[in-house]
């Protein structure tokens, strides 16, 4: 499967050289010149390359927020300074790696490969009943493809950020709708309900999406136990 890399960078020359090198090496790329654009694309990417200084804010704060929301998408920070404290700040904000400008596009590609190799064993939701293909926006329950609305697809994608993690309704609202939308918890619940119905109709247990009382929702990281005849 082709991995999709989101490049968040406002300098067109850097953006284009990184994106070109990635495409040349078989990756799919998407570009975000601002954090606002990045916000809606970040959790659908397999990896994000993130500049620190962006026109609408700090890349590091954006990164911290993603991590606080439970998003574990690998992120490589493009740091413009070579100070030790900047590199430490990037790692402490939750970056998986960083490269210091000026860098060669080949170096970025090598780092991307290394990070993807490192995260893959745990990143793949083995045993999880649900999976999404961000590039094609297709979702599956076991082998059956689900016919989802945009919101339902984005919800599943957000929940699959880390299977097993509990996501609060406000985290889901921020991931799916972003800031500034007046979405109520009840709206989230009704989309989850419809999602469960579709999962169930596809022959998979609706409990694959679990309600964690008083907290939110999580996707069961492994198959729920088969019903037993022993009692």
Give least dist CB 86 to Ca ion, A: 14
| Nearest alpha-carbon partner for 199 in 224, 178, 227 | 224
Distance CA 210, CA 204 (A): 13
CA atoms within 13 A on the CB side of 206: 10
Among 3, 30, 46, 51, interactor with Ca ion by CB under 5 A: 51
Q: Does 53 bind Ca ion (CB under 5 A)?
A: yes
Q: Does 151 bind Ca ion (CB under 5 A)?
A: no
Q: Which of the stretches 8-16, 39-47, 100-108, 178-186 binds Ca ion when contact is defined by CB under 5 A?
A: 8-16
Find tokens 């390359």 and name the residue: 49
Give least dist CB 153 to Ca ion, A: 31
**Nearest residue to Ca ion, using CB?**
53
Give least dist CB 11 to Ca ion, A: 6
Radius of gyration of the chain (CA): 19
Give least dist CB 160 to Ca ion, A: 30
Distance CA 210, CA 218 (A): 5
The residues with which 49 forms a beta bridge, in sequence order, are 7, 76
Q: Does 33 bind Ca ion (CB under 5 A)?
A: no
Distance CA 187, CA 100 (A): 43
Give least dist CB 54 to Ca ion, A: 6
Minimum CB distance to Ca ion smaller for 11 or for 133: 11
Q: Which residues bind Ca ion (CB under 5 A)?
A: 10, 51, 53
């Amino acid at each position: 499967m082709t991995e999709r890399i989101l490049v968040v960078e406002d300098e067109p020359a850097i953006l284009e050289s990184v994106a070109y090198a990635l495409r040349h090496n078989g990756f799919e790329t998407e570009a975000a010149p601002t954090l606002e654009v990045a916000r809606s694309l970040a959790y659908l990417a397999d990896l994000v390359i993130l500049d620190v200084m962006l026109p609408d804010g700090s890349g590091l704060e954006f990164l911290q927020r993603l991590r606080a929301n439970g998003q574990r998408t690998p992120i490589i920070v493009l740091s413009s300074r070579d100070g030790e404290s900047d590199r430490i700040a990037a790692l402490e904000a939750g970056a998986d790696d960083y490269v210091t400008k000026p860098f060669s596009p080949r170096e970025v590609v090598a780092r991307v490969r290394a990070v993807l190799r490192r995260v893959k064993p745990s990143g793949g939701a083995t045993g999880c009943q649900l999976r999404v293909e961000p590039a094609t926006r297709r979702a599956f329950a076991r082998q059956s493809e689900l016919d989802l609305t945009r919101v339902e697809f984005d919800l599943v994608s957000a929940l699959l950020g880390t299977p097993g993690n509990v996501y609060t309704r406000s985290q889901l609202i921020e991931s799916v709708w972003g800031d500034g939308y007046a979405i109520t918890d009840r709206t989230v619940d009704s989309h989850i309900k419809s999602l469960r119905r579709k999962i169930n109709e596809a022959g998979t247990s609706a409990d694959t999406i679990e309600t964690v009382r008083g907290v939110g929702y999580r996707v069961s990281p492994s198959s729920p136990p088969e019903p037993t005849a022993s009692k």
